Amino acid sequence: MQGKIALEEHFAIEATINDSKVFGENVWTTLRPRLFDIQDMRLKEMDKHGVGTMILSLNAPAVQAIADKKRAIAVAREANDVLAAEIARRPDRFSGFAALPMQDPDAATAELERCVKELGFVGALVNGFSELDGAPSLLYYDLPQYRPFWKTVERLDVPFYLHPRNPVAGQIPGYAGHNWLLGPNWAFNAETSVHALRLIGSGLFDECPNLKIVIGHLGEGIPALLWRIDHRNGWMHEPHRYAAKKPVADYFRQHFWLTTSGNFSTTALKQAIEELGADRILFSVDWPFEDVGEGCTWFDKAAIGEADRRKIGRDNAAKLFKLT
């Protein structure tokens, strides 16, 4: 399929590049230049495999792992300025997600406004919870201080991509001695799915009924468990004890979009379509941590209808991000 839009595609700046080394130490000599490159190898891979547009975002955990608030604000702004300059060179091929210093909700709100209104970015991508010196040291975005931020996201009418990160070392004892469970093997989807469910249960979407959230990897495992989340021990007739007014599945189907990033499984894709509908699925690769050729070859041949392939490959993203 030609003209695909991919939207979990990363770059790095000097201040954040080493955050990605842990995910590819054995291929670091290849991965590092791929993260810095935007106009050369990336474009060649896009052209070769039918990707018309990439929406670019900063690598992880980057800003979210900078516990010093002032430094987080400075790095986010630097990354966004670098990205804006790269997009300006090829606005026909690239768009951008804002990196945000969520350690300071007011600063994050101001930076999102700047990125959308001045730099022309089409949304934000944030790498999970944020670390902060002091208490609380880990910030999840269902906390009350983020409500004004979310209202701004809704007012600007741009999607918010909740991207994975690993838990802080030692935070979850079950991973001790089993580092292979970290990253995309398990911890990424576990951490992101919990964060997404916290947002749902907090009542955020009752307050912000037009909020749009994107999560990757075909839903971080949530689609397979939607029924169980809402119907566990059903004969006990015990209601969920959360602030939200409706079942989890209602919010998930109304407010969430899923990408194929890094999960090139036709079985998982079909289940996501079954649970949410083809209108809620978006093609992505997760470059440079995943291979453009592998992702595109899989998607172009996946056993789905051609109408759904066009929606997922291009049309849904064009509509959601208002791309021409």
Question: Is 157 labeled as catalytic in the residue annotation?
Answer: no
- At position 145, the amino acid (one-letter code) is Q
d(CA 283, CA 306): 14
Instruction: Give 161-222 as a DSSP string.
Output: EEE--PPPTTSSGGGTT-GGGTGGGTHHHHHHHHHHHHHHHTTHHHH-TT--EEESTTTTTH
Catalytic pick among 19, 104, 142, 286: 286
Beta bridge partners of 127: 163
Going from the C-alpha of 116 to that of each of 3, 77, 123, 180, 307, the distances in angstroms are 24, 13, 7, 38, 31
Give the neighbor-by-neighbor strand order of the sheet with 94-98.
4-11, 51-58, 94-98, 123-127, 160-163, 213-215, 256-259, 281-282
Token pair 């891979």 is found at 45
54: which 2 tokens? 């990439």
Residues written for the chain: 324
Q: Cβ distance 167 to 127 under 8 Å?
A: no
Q: Strand, helix or coil at 4?
A: strand
Contacts from 28-34 at CB under 8 Å and sequence distance 24+?
31/288, 31/289, 34/287, 34/288
Q: Extract the runs of DSSP E, i.e. beta strands, from the chain.
A: 4-11, 51-58, 94-98, 123-127, 130-131, 138-139, 160-163, 213-215, 256-259, 281-282
- Please report which helix (H) or strand (E) contains residue 317, including its range: helix 316-320
Please state, in angstroms and rounded to a whole number, the distance separating the CA atoms of residues 158 and 213. 9
- Which residue from 108, 20, 34 is spatially nearest to 291, judged by alpha carbons? 34
Q: What amino acid positions are annotated as catalytic residues?
A: 286
